[in-house]
A and B are shown apart, each in its own frame.
Chain A
Amino acid sequence: MSVLLTVDAVSKRFRGLVAVDRLSFEVPAGGIYAVIGPNGAGKTTLFNMIAGVFAPDSGTISFAGERIDGLPPDRICRRGIGRTFQIVRPFPALSVEDNVIVGALLHRHHVVDARAHAHAVLRRLDLYDKRAQRASSLTLPDRKRLEVARALATDPKLLLLDEVMAGLRPTETDRIVAILKELNRDTGLTILLIEHVMRAVMALAARILVLHHGGAIAQGTPETVVRDPAVVHSYLGVEDLS
């Protein structure tokens, strides 16, 4: 399997604090890859570097064979990386449909084409019936799916999901899990997700990276990772191992 994203010896410091410390990993094309770890482990910092919010202090990030570290977020999105935000931020005053049209217009020049594409994406995410509503009127689960829809509409090769299941009820989580699985299977979309909800991670990810204090303490398949003593000790806790 070819590699889509390569993170190589990447570090990021905020003043004295080392948020990400010489981290290296590879995301294979077509897979679902999860990053887990306790709060403050550096997960969101890692995401923000991949998405171009800020550049790494050292190390390189390559996407589809080209260096992308240091590029601004809009150019990274145009290269084919779509993202969601941990705290959702849809365009509140715009309708659900218009939110997704904005994403769809990235690689389409006519609003008519973008609208057609947006409708297809909205159907996939179970939001088609709510397309005329203002984004600000949606419930949290709907807003989370709207963020995924907007990112998806930009035709990414890699989708970065920052805790899209957080704060959702188990049924809502299962719904998103099913949608993401289907997306991955049908379109070959590569997904990199940060997630705390282990139920979702176990159901989705083919590979897991465990971050702790900015460094990887384990990598591998879900089965091996959850049995790793270091992971159990620092993150999962004993009672989670049943």
Chain B
Amino acid sequence: MIGRLIGGVPRRALAMLGVLLLALIVAPLIASDYLLTVLILILYFAYIGQAWNIMMGFAGQLSLGHALYVGLGAYAAAALYVHFSIGPWLGLIIALPIAALAGAFIGFLAFRFRVAGVYFAILTIAVAEFARVGFDHWAWTSGSSGLFLPVSQYSHNDIWLLRGHPVMFYYIILAASVLAFILCRALLQSRVGYFWLAIREDEEAARSSGIDTFHYKMVAVVTSAAMTSFAGVFYAFFYNNLFPEQVFHISRSIEIILGPIVGGVGTLFGPVLGAFVLTGLAETLTAALAAAGVDLPGAKQVFYGICLLLVIMALPDGIWPWLAKRIGLAERNK
């Protein structure tokens, strides 16, 4: 299993991954609280970016509504915790199928009735918007006034209930990102992965090669949705408050896809690199502006816009394929 996962990967790439992982493991020892929060955010986006990439980068299905799965995961786990004192890990067992079902619903509607391309993207937005409006009016989750998780001064880290110091959250999201990376690598090397790429490249030719495209597109959506729901659970327990206007909002969906696009859609390392570049630089910018005493609301959004523009103009395939070629680590498939 491990042999097959790292088979064909250049030594240098493995070494660099090892160094990066080591650096991330020891980071909390030297990082300030602020830097730690930034790193958590980076890894959070790296994780979701990886999940989104399964749909868009591998299977070629553009989702502009991934906030739906984050929100469903977050609300399911948070509501179970608030109302029934069910812990987040048990909550995840329930949140995961809920998000997967939502994905299956969208996928079935789209793929059964041949809603493709731009129309598929619009459908994903529409369902996320439905959820936003629905949760705004759903009393059980406190509607638009927001769902709050009880916060107490943490004396110790409770990993079972996800209550504790940011360092604990950091290691959880780091582990999740590493697992997501490994899972995506394994998927890409599997039968399913090949079929996804074929569908992405040319759906009609894929069908003529015997691929049940409906089935494999469904697998992509459901896998991606289920993976994304964990990010929602994490979000709920890290921030302790949920507002439909925030979690389901389309700007959240856009935020999710920026990392992989900047880093490189369809590549394994693109979502990771994109998260580091965008979140890392944006936070640096915010910090620099704050240090300079300049108050510029919306500076982050402008920065995102500029980044995206630069990447689209100069490196339409994303930064990673270009960088990988530069340092002699070309990835397969892009």
Chain A interfacial residues counted at CB < 8 A: 28
Known: A73-B208, A77-B208, A92-B201. A98 touches B189 (CB 8 A): no
Closest to B213 in A: A74
Interface centre among A105, A111, A151 (most CB of B within 10 A): A105
Closest to A103 in B: B209
- Determine whether A89 belongs to the interface, using a CB cutoff of 8 Å to chain B: yes
- Determine whether B205 belongs to the interface, using a CB cutoff of 8 Å to chain A: yes
Stretch from B36-44, B165-173, B191-199, B304-312 forming part of the interface with A = B191-199
- Tell whether, in the assembled complex, residue A95 and residue B194 are in contact, meaning their CB atoms are under 8 Å apart: no
- Determine whether B137 belongs to the interface, using a CB cutoff of 8 Å to chain A: no
B209 partner, pick from A72, A92, A111, A150, beta carbons under 8 A:
A150
- Counting residue pairs across A and B whose Cβ atoms lie within 8 Å, the total is 75
- Tell whether, in the assembled complex, residue B210 and residue A91 are in contact, meaning their CB atoms are under 8 Å apart: no
Please give, as numbers and ranges, the residues of chain A lying within 8 Å of B213 by CB-CB distance: 74
Give min CB distance, A219 to chain B, whole Å: 27
- Tell whether, in the assembled complex, residue B202 and residue A89 are in contact, meaning their CB atoms are under 8 Å apart: yes
A102 partner, pick from B204, B209, B212, B332, beta carbons under 8 A:
B209
Known: A74-B213, A111-B189. A51 touches B198 (CB 8 A): no
Chain B interfacial residues counted at CB < 8 A: 22
- Determine whether B114 belongs to the interface, using a CB cutoff of 8 Å to chain A: no
Q: How far is the CA of A150 from the CA of B201 in the complex (A)?
A: 14
Q: Please, what's the 1-or-0 string for B2-44, where 1 marks a CB less than 8 Å from any CB in chain A? A: 0000000000000000000000000000000000000000000
Q: Please, what's the 1-or-0 string for A89-125, where 1 marks a CB less than 8 Å from any CB in chain B? A: 1111111001001110110011100100000000000
Please give, as numbers and ranges, the residues of chain B lying within 8 Å of A154 by CB-CB distance: 209-210
Please give, as numbers and ranges, the residues of chain A lying within 8 Å of B333 by CB-CB distance: 93-94, 98
Closest to B215 in A: A74
Please give, as numbers and ranges, the residues of chain A lying within 8 Å of B212 by CB-CB distance: 74
Known: A94-B201, A94-B333. A74 touches B207 (CB 8 A): yes
- Determine whether A83 belongs to the interface, using a CB cutoff of 8 Å to chain B: yes
Known: A92-B201, A93-B334. A111 touches B194 (CB 8 A): yes
Q: How far is the CA of A92 from the CA of B334 in the complex (A)?
A: 10
Please give, as numbers and ranges, the residues of chain A lying within 8 Å of B198 by CB-CB distance: 91, 94, 102
Known A-B contacts: A89-B205, A101-B194, A102-B206. Give 9 more (CB < 8 A): A77-B207, A91-B197, A91-B198, A91-B205, A91-B206, A92-B201, A95-B332, A106-B211, A109-B191
Closest 6 CB pairs of A and B: A91-B201, A77-B210, A106-B210, A73-B207, A102-B198, A89-B205
Ordered by A's residue number, 21 sampled pairs between the chains whose C-beta atoms are within 8 Å are: A73-B204, A73-B207, A73-B208, A74-B208, A74-B211, A83-B208, A89-B205, A90-B205, A91-B197, A91-B201, A92-B202, A93-B334, A94-B198, A94-B333, A102-B195, A102-B209, A103-B210, A106-B210, A109-B191, A111-B194, A114-B191
Q: What is the interface of chain A, defined by CB distance below 8 A to chain B?
A: 51, 72-74, 77-78, 83, 85, 89-95, 98, 101-103, 105-106, 109-111, 114, 150-151, 154
